[in-house]
Amino acid sequence: MASPKRSSFKRYSLILALAGAVSGVAAGMLAAAPGGELEKQRPTWKIDKIPDAPILSPAEAIKSFKLPPGFKIELVAAEPMVQEPIAMAFDPDGRAYVCELRGYMPDMDGNGELDPVGRISRLEDTNNDGVFDKSTIFMDKLSIPRAIGFMGDGLLVSEPPNLYLVKDTNGDGVADSKTTLLTDYASKNANPEHMANGLVWMLDNWNYSANWSARFRMAGGKFVREGTISRGQWGIAQDDVGRLFYNSNSAMLRADMMPAKFLAGNPFVANPTGVNASVAGNKTFPGRVNPGVNRGYTKVLDDKGVLQSVTAACGPQIYRGDAFPADYRGNAFVCEPSGNMIIRHTLEEKGLNVVGTSVQHDGTSLGFPKIDFLVSTDERFRPVSLYNAPDGALYVVDLYHGILQHKAYLSAYLADQVKQRDLDKNDGHRGRIWRIVPDGYKQPAKQPKLSTATSAELAAALSHGNGWWRDTAQRLLVERNDAKVVGTLQKIALGKEPGTTTLGKIHALWTLQGMDKLEDEVVAAALKDADPKVRLQALRAGEQHIRKLTGIETISMLPDLANDPDLAVQVQVVAYSTPANRELQPTANKIIARHLSDPIVRSVALSASAGRELELLQSLLADAAFATAPAKDKQGFFNDLAECVVRGRSADRIDALFALISTVSDKQKADKLALVQGVAEAIAPDPKSKAPRRKLRLAKEPSGLADLLKSTDKKVAELAKGIDGGLSWPNKPGDKTPPLKPLTSEQAQRFTAGKELFTQLCAVCHQPSGMGQEGLAPPLLDSEWALGTPNRTVRIVLHGLTGPIKVGKKTFEGEMPGLQVLTDDQIASILTYVRREWGHEADPVEPAFVAKVRKETAGRGEKQWTAEELSNIAK
């Protein structure tokens, strides 16, 4: 489980996402908790009486819940049928497979947590009364199983670092076939932080995970994997149109406003807007006092001991069922197990963004003016995952465990709280699964039997009112790839089949795409649909026709879409204006100019321009329509494009950029200044930075620099002077830049190995450009912490870091775990790469030096460093 409980601070990592890819990964990477000193963790709250935390039976626990009027909660499974459940998935026939983390924190020392006691259980409701009455152990003897999902006629099972496709070939409910698909799906480590999980089939026919930087699918009988951004921490979900939602412990809800590849495709853009975007505020409204949170001695609790903001947010879900009232459809629900509650947000589309609004109900019966959607007075109620179910209900996976925080981050304060209320005593294995339904809910007459449904029946289910049915039908159709149903799917996609809904059209388009049967003519016809959601999904599903220039009809319609009444459709055209589709650039320019004030539009344009920012600049500077764009927005965009060109570090393109800037007329004074500022920001480091001063080395003087230095515009001349000071080339007058000391052959080999390790372990969070990502990882580019004395840098990698820490101009409040599992040579290789890539000229790091620091700090254990401590470390 990706620690549904941890510190209230966001975690940032210098070297993040170990993911099991490095050889030598071993158990116990974070074997001891940093803890801290209890006397320094005294709370400021005043609670007259902290309630006891007895173990409640399911019958007792159900009385502890409070829901809004009109809803009720029902028990569907409990111990011993399920034990320490963390995730579940419904198969096509409505049976639930449950991942049980039975080794999770059996005591405060975590004794035996890696023992092979985990399992997957299959639950069945044999009499269709809404309660599981039959349990079969599908697979056992697993060490820290993390996630489950479906693929073909098998079950995906994560047992880090492996991901298996497991099958029951004889129908007895017990797995008897296991194929290893991946060997780097998280690492074999009991510490739940930064571990891949999720395994959810999404609208675009890919399986996605939280906390992992790849997606995968079966295509043409072959297992296909490709990189993507790392999303969230524990749990991942989608809405009806395929937006991905996720979160981290201290961030309620985040989302990609459109597929991330259209927003984050340019490695030289830091923190593109619209990806990993915050959707909702973090305020909480519990139904009890909450002293038992890891940072409960801080302001995360108010003076009455009530949790003020999420500190363990996890398991987000978008309700897509058909049992709740209509105004609940598309709402976001988030688990907060440390606060013993589930939080509800309504979601509203505002332009290209989705905005969440927190919703509460009356809690006066519990002594609170307002409480969140579901609250409990039982401290052991630990909701960690939520699911849309075949019956339309919202299912809640309840770990029901006293200790929630993993030992690696268990503060002395929380350890004391655990002891005071015997939360470490669980009296055996426990766990519950609940479902939330409206009053008057009637159990569906029949359970699904989609595994034996005909292809025609599955096609009809694409318009079902319940998202689980639609998703499952789509997956089964794609995996069957039955050519006989293609005609029916085409009719559904174009609204020519009786009973078809808007969502049915969307699923039909993506089903055809997944079957590799989506024809150009169907895409082009769907682009004329009256509903903008269908037009948008047609554009996205038909991507290959546009990318490969095989969709003649579709491509011919793209210029007209510049005037589509829906902004999202217009922006999708911009996303396709890439080097392979340069003829789209005039159309894209019109859209960009019209909506340049929208930061997501700018992100899409920058992403699409990756590798050809210079050409886009040339096009825009000569575009009369673009000249009418709002000046401030236009100049900000020019600034970004110029900065990207320089960060690409191509000497020829940088030279061409200077030449282009020198040709900008005096009538475009502000545009020229913006371009020069972009160059300056990429070349001239922050004068207040403590990072070693470095210069951009070029083969010759840029052809337009002299003109800029002599500019009559004082601001341009001043910036040009700073730029000149940041450049070096052979025989430059007055330049005393020493030659770059070349790496030895051993150091060069280490650099190469470090690049591979960085790509595997760090690049998804810190980006291949080292520029970092907001809400995920700070920058390494020009970072004083990465380039300063290795005495500090090695310590950070070995033992981790706890914020606050200032990196460049920003202060980060976060933590990172140490990576003592890496060998001395691996740490030296990664740091050598970081200190010599992206134009950095810092000295390489030797394995012997890492070994020396490791020995000097061996007594520190897993205690993380603070910036203040590191500042006192001698150079």
Alpha carbons 58 and 74: distance in angstroms, whole number: 10
Q: Is 472 exposed, middle or buried (0-12, 13-18, 19+ CB in 10 A)?
A: buried
Fold type of domain 38-92+142-438: Neuraminidase (2.120.10)
Q: In this structure, how many other beta carbons lie within 10 angstroms of the beta carbon of residue 31?
A: 16
**Is 20 in contact with 185 (CB distance < 8 Å)?**
yes
Alpha carbons 679 and 199: distance in angstroms, whole number: 42
Give SS3 for 586.
Answer: helix
pLDDT of residue 22: 33
- The β-bridge partners of 375 are 66, 341
- pLDDT tens for residues 354-408? 999 999 999 999 999 999 999 999 999 999 999 999 999 999 999 999 999 988 7
Global pTM reads: 0.90
Angle of CA points 763, 768, 769, to nearest 5°: 130
- pLDDT tens for residues 786-803? 888 999 999 988 888 877
- The β-bridge partners of 101 are none
**Is 352 in contact with 495 (CB distance < 8 Å)?**
no
At 154, phi and psi to the nearest 5? -130, 175
| Residue 349: partners with Cβ closer than 8 Å, 6 or more residues away | none
**Is 212 in contact with 185 (CB distance < 8 Å)?**
yes
Distance of CA 829 to the CA centre of its chain: 27
- pLDDT tens for residues 738-774? 888 899 999 999 999 999 888 877 776 777 888 877 6
In degrees to the nearest 10, what's the CA dihedral of 448, 451, 457, 462? 70
- pLDDT tens for residues 170-229? 999 999 999 999 999 988 877 777 789 999 999 999 999 999 989 999 998 899 999 899
* Token couple for 98: 């449950």
Domain spans of the chain, in order of start: 38-92+142-438, 461-557, 611-684+696-736, 745-871
At 413, phi and psi to the nearest 5? -60, -50
Alpha carbons 182 and 180: distance in angstroms, whole number: 6
pLDDT of residue 817: 67
Is the domain defined by 745-871 classed in CATH 3.40.1410.10? Answer: no
pLDDT of residue 1: 36
- The β-bridge partners of 99 are 87, 120
Q: CA–CA distance from 108 to each of 405, 705, 857 (Å)?
A: 9, 64, 25
Q: In this structure, how many other beta carbons lie within 10 angstroms of the beta carbon of residue 618?
A: 15
Helix (H) or strand (E) holding 100: strand 96-100
| Residue 832: partners with Cβ closer than 8 Å, 6 or more residues away | 743, 747, 750, 751, 754, 844, 845
pLDDT of residue 775: 62
pLDDT of residue 776: 67
Alpha carbons 817 and 445: distance in angstroms, whole number: 51
pLDDT at 499 over 90: yes
- pLDDT tens for residues 231-283? 999 999 999 999 999 999 999 999 999 999 999 999 899 889 999 999 999 99
Alpha carbons 375 and 66: distance in angstroms, whole number: 5
pLDDT of residue 689: 61
* Token couple for 113: 């947590």
Which segments of 160-300 are extended strands (E)?
162-167, 177-182, 197-201, 207-210, 214-219, 222-227, 237-238, 244-248, 251-255, 277-278
- pLDDT tens for residues 419-464? 999 999 999 999 999 999 999 999 999 999 999 999 999 999 999 9
